[in-house]
Structure 1
């Protein structure tokens, strides 16, 4: 990948800036550090430096853990969805560095945050519009987290009961209802002329194939084909950053499915 060396150089330069002596410890700095360590882990793993990559991901997970634990006591439902990207990245970093217990904690956080919930005991999200984004990011984060946690049913979700309506309701649903919600959100994005939903769209066939296997309805071979298709859809650094960690995580989390 021609732009990989440049991306590594830029991340290291940004890391140097963030770790300069006297740099104030702000949320933006913490998120920047997590981003740097997570990215460097991906780049190093791609180049075969697996031990170095694991050390990078340990750093990303550790920083995220301290940050999220500090924010949780005062986090509100209205703000929860702002944290699901960070917690999902932390979950992947923990999983890829061999810290599966910590990864499950982060996936649990992500599942709630992407639903607009803090504790999971709230009656419903305070701001449904904040979690039904037109790029499907929050719904897909929830779907992925629930699959990783082994929860395919027995929960509530924001669902579009009618394909022709953009009015969502909070009802009992399952993983299929959430996948349909994600697709509806992406359809809204297309109607609004958004062009950056393509990466998210590529994930849905893979998740559907995996769910079919987990429910005993589908063949592992179909899921493996879907994973290969997903991995081969990497076309640029943005795709690499989004797709590559998912591929690595699914192979490790579901070896009986994705290892022939």
Structure 2
């Protein structure tokens, strides 16, 4: 390894991190070798799994200081996702759209981290629409509210993040919870603050149901609020930097790493004047 870094809050410390990292790299590499066999059918599940493997190997490589290798993996992942979504979108329905939001947002991160910001914007636009149950953006509203307002806040957070990366803070409609103590969502014109509040409301519903919510989702609302406040000029840059540092410190296992580390990298690259000052 070019450098031996360990996430500061990782359970098990340095020894466990090294073991988990080596095992994860081995598993992903072996999988890619296996699916490359000529008799393996090309299916959507296989395509998404290959995408995830290349994306993850990019994260592991970057952490170890192999930045050129990482960018190559991310570029391959982004190219695969682009071709895949181009094939899928003509037949995509509003009901199925939320199922593709995670892939679109992750592909946006892979694109941005490989230096393809224009492609990243295309993917962030896809993720923003898919996460709110829209395919083209011309539909009057989402067809399946339950898929848009999930109890772990996954879809609302994907939409918020994508809109921030696209520089859109207002001027759109959304399915939101207008009242803090009501679980009755309505489709109205809203802004980024309404969407963040709705994401927090979804997370609260999940907690009431005793669902396990990952650190990557729990920690996003305060980070995004601090980021938006700094971007809009009514919050300090220092508060945003502290929120990003706290988010990175919440990495406690490999699953956290795969979801949190790319966000940290992406925000630092997308807002250098804010986070690299």
TM-score relative to the length of structure 1: 0.98
**Distance in 1 (alpha carbons) for counterparts of 2:110 and 2:216:** 20
Tell me the SS of whatever aligns to 1:78: coil
Q: 2:253 aligns with which of 233, 236, 257?
A: 236
Q: Does 1:132 align with 2:149?
A: yes
Structure 1 stretches of 4+ moved >4 Å: none
* Equivalent-residue separation in structure 1 for 2:36 and 2:150 (angstroms): 34
Offset at 1:164? 2.0
Equivalents in 2 of 1:118, 1:195: separation in Å?
A: 29
TM alignment of 1:38-57, pairs within 5 A: 38-57=55-74
Query: How many correspondences in the alignment?
Result: 260
Match of 1:218, SS state, is coil
CA contact (8 A) 1:115 1:125 kept: yes
Distance in 1 of aligned mates of 2:173 and 2:258:
30
| 1:246 maps onto 2:263 in alignment | yes
Please state if 1:176 is matched with 2:170: no
- Give the 3-state SS of the residue equivalent to 2:189 in structure 1: strand
Secondary structure of residue in 1 paired with 2:219: helix
Equivalent of residue 216 in structure 1, options 207, 217, 233: 233
The question of 1:84 aligning with 2:101 is answered yes
Deviation string, structure 1 residues 42-95 (Cα, Å, up to 9, x no partner): 000000000000000011000000000001111000100000000011000000
Classify the secondary structure of the residue corresponding to 1:124.
Answer: coil
RMSD: 0.8
What residue ranges of structure 1 are gaps of 5+ in the alignment?
A: none
1:61 aligned partner: 78
Answer yes or no: is the 8 Å Cα contact 2:215–2:250 preserved in 1.
no
Task: Determine if the alignment matches structure 1 residue 110 to structure 2 residue 127.
Answer: yes
The C-alpha deviation readout for 1:211-231, integer Å capped at 9, x for no partner, is 001111111111111111111
Name which structure has the greater RCO, CA cutoff 8 Å, separation 6+. 2
The answer to whether the Cα contact below 8 Å between 2:214 and 2:256 also exists between their aligned partners in 1 is no
